[in-house]
């Protein structure tokens, strides 16, 4: 259903400076396995323990949001070669105070893909807590990443941002050949899963914000 997808101009894709907004979204996520149950539990514990968890200055960790960009036929995924981490990843980034995690994931995906009319499914598809290594004056810390799927239209032309060395479409069937980490492979496999694909809905038209 196209009304399940949000895109530019949708009045739900706005910044919301409330942690409760993020907590409610995570709390409403239904994990499908023990690993996801554990990730959800730890993430909510961090949210309750650190009132500034939406901000990157919150250490030992903070919320982030990301989106796996797929094409309309769902047989390719768009990854970027992260300039700092030096590996192929999905698009995503810091909340910087925004508790609307769907908006954060969409905003970051648009910025990093250069595709302004991405459509995003507002349902969480995965949670992942991972360690970011020490860099400069910033100590090692955790990213509490809330993950979504976004769709690129057939005629979309990706343009790399300063945060990327390159952008590349990968066939979902070639997941084993991608130089990335386990959590990205997990996302791609979710995309390949038939039930998950049906849950993502159609990317045929722009959401109307209703």
Q: pLDDT (tens digit, 9 = 90+) per residue, 8-35? A: 999 999 999 999 999 999 999 999 999 9
pLDDT, one tens digit per residue, over 197-209 is: 434 444 333 444 3
Of 111, 114, 106, 155, nearest to 7 (Cα)?
106
Of 132, 145, 181, residue with least CA distance to 26: 145
When the pLDDT of each residue in the chain is averaged and rounded to a whole number, the result is 89
List of domains in the chain = 2-200 (3.90.79.10)
Distance of CA 159 to the CA centre of its chain: 18
Question: What is the model's pLDDT at position 65?
Answer: 98
Helix (H) or strand (E) holding 34, with range, is helix 34-49
Buried/exposed 44-83: b ≥16 CB within 10 Å, e otherwise: bebbeebeebbbbebeebbbbbbbbbbbeebebbbbbbbe
Question: Is it the case that residue 44 has pLDDT exceeding 90?
Answer: yes
Question: What distance in Å separates the CA atoms of residue 122 and residue 104, rounded to the nearest whole number?
Answer: 11
pLDDT of residue 58: 97
| CA distance linking residue 114 with residue 23, whole number of Å | 29
Asked whether 59 and 131 are in contact (CB, 8 A), the reply is: no
Note the pLDDT tens digit of each residue in 153-205. 998 999 988 888 899 999 998 888 888 989 999 999 887 764 444 344 443 33
């Amino acid at each position: 259903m196209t009304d399940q997808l949000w895109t530019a101009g949708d009045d739900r894709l706005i910044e919301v400076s409330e942690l409760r907004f993020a907590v409610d979204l995570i709390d409403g996520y239904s994990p499908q396995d023990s690993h996801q149950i554990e990730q959800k539990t730890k993430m909510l514990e961090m949210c309750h323990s650190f009132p500034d968890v939406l901000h990157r200055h919150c250490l030992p960790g903070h919320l982030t949001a990301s989106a796996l960009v797929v094409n309309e036929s769902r047989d390719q995924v768009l990854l970027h070669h992260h300039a700092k981490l030096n590996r192929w990843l999905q698009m995503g980034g810091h909340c910087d105070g925004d508790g609307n995690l769907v908006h954060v994931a969409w905003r970051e995906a648009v910025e990093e893909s250069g595709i302004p009319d991405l459509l995003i499914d507002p349902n969480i598809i995965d949670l992942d807590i991972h360690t970011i290594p020490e860099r400069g004056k910033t100590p090692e810390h955790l990213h509490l990443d809330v993950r979504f799927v976004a769709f690129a239209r057939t005629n979309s032309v990706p343009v790399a941002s300063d945060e990327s060395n390159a952008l590349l479409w990968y066939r979902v069937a070639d997941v084993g050949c991608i130089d990335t980490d386990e959590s990205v492979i997990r996302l791609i496999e979710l995309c390949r899963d038939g039930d998950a694909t049906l849950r993502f809905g159609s990317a045929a038209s722009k959401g109307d914000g209703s």
